[in-house]
Amino acid sequence: MMFMSAIPPLNGSNYGIWREKLEMALALSDNDLALTSPCPIEPMDQVRKENEADVAFATRRRKHAIVIMKYNLDHAKLDSSNHKCLIVIKSSIEDPIRGAIPKCTTATEYLKKVESHFTCSSKAYASTLIKRLVKEKYNGGGIREHILRMSNTSSNLKPMDMGLKDEFLVHLIFASLPKEYETFVVNYNLQPEKWDIEKLIAMCVQEEERLKSSHGDTINHVNSSKLQEKAPQNDHHQKFNNVKVDKDTCKWCKKKGHHQKD
């Protein structure tokens, strides 16, 4: 029940995360047999061959009985798993969506029907992810977190058969780095070795530390102490501040014994 409660209800805009959490919950609860294994094929009945001896035929039938027993056990396990999967899948879908999905006898077929309802949504989601990857820019906060964030965005494309190769993702990440990393990127392009994401993270973190030490730990960070232009004072306020009066005299009412600020 703990695994099942972690499945977010399918509401039309979260198909990707719903499918991922659903498969994870069914796998961890050991109920995903119907989704991972094909339906067993029923063995054909044994037919006595021409001129086959009684002993030989009896031996073949005994061996065949073991095959039949294994088929019955596998079929029973698959039926039980299929029944549980259908219950879990249907219970994790909101009523308006569940009512639009036709009845199916197997969990695999039911999931395909659900997937077909969200093909267009998946395309739109994939387009959003691709745009995010192309426009992503590093603005500080840790180069490791930036790379992992882009890598996670790329991994979300894989369930939709739009996964990016590591080599292409590496170049997208390089394109998202600021000008301080230009020499670092040029050096990578000049060497024959190709990096994977793990190697990229290690080398970028090393380069980030080098840049921080050479720039006084201010790389890619806005200086919060930067002077800002002061807003001009109110003309009326300046007028009275420029009035010349005697000591201990208010510039506002011209009386002694107090000041304008009081």
pLDDT tens digits for 73-93?
999 999 999 999 999 999 999
Whether the pLDDT of residue 237 is over 90: the answer is no
Confidence at residue 121, expressed as pLDDT on a 0 to 100 scale: 60
pLDDT tens digits for 1-10?
777 888 889 8
Whether the pLDDT of residue 261 is over 90: the answer is no
CA distance 145 to 201: 9
pLDDT tens digits for 167-224?
899 999 999 999 999 999 999 999 898 999 999 999 999 999 998 888 765 555 444 3
For CA atoms 89, 26, 85, 121, the dihedral sign is positive
pLDDT band at 14 (very low <50, low <70, confident <90, very high): confident
Give 194's contacts (C-beta < 8 A, 6+ positions apart).
Answer: 167, 170
Output phi, psi for 249, to 5 deg: -120, 135
Output phi, psi for 82, to 5 deg: -60, -40
DSSP 25-40: HHHHTT--HHHHSPPP
Output phi, psi for 153, to 5 deg: -60, -40
CA distance 54 to 51: 9
pLDDT band at 228 (very low <50, low <70, confident <90, very high): very low
Domain ranges in the chain are 2-117, 121-214
pLDDT tens digits for 127-149?
888 888 889 999 888 899 999 99
Q: If you ran DSSP here, which 8-state letter would residue 180 be given? A: G
Percent of the chain with pLDDT over 70: 86
pTM: 0.49
pLDDT tens digits for 35-50?
998 888 888 888 888 8
Confidence at residue 156, expressed as pLDDT on a 0 to 100 scale: 78
CA distance 8 to 20: 10
Q: Which residue from 90, 94, 89 is spatially nearest to 11, judged by alpha carbons?
A: 94
Q: What angle do CA 117, 120, 123 make, to 5 degrees?
A: 135
Whether the pLDDT of residue 153 is over 80: the answer is yes
Long-range CB contact pairs, 230-238, < 8 A, 24+: none
CA distance 90 to 128: 28
Q: Is 10 helix (H, G, I), strand (E, B) or coil?
A: strand
Contact 122, 19 (CB under 8 A): no
CA distance 42 to 25: 30
Question: What's the mean pLDDT in 146-156?
Answer: 88
Confidence at residue 88, expressed as pLDDT on a 0 to 100 scale: 92
On average, the pLDDT of the chain sits at 82
Q: Is 102 helix (H, G, I), strand (E, B) or coil?
A: coil
- Paired with 246 in beta bridges are none
CA–CA distances in Å: residue 109 to residues 101, 114, 162, 189: 11, 9, 23, 47
Confidence at residue 130, expressed as pLDDT on a 0 to 100 scale: 87
Question: What's the mean pLDDT in 118-135?
Answer: 78
Q: Which residue from 197, 137, 131 is spatially nearest to 162, judged by alpha carbons?
A: 131
Confidence at residue 154, expressed as pLDDT on a 0 to 100 scale: 87
Contact 4, 88 (CB under 8 A): yes
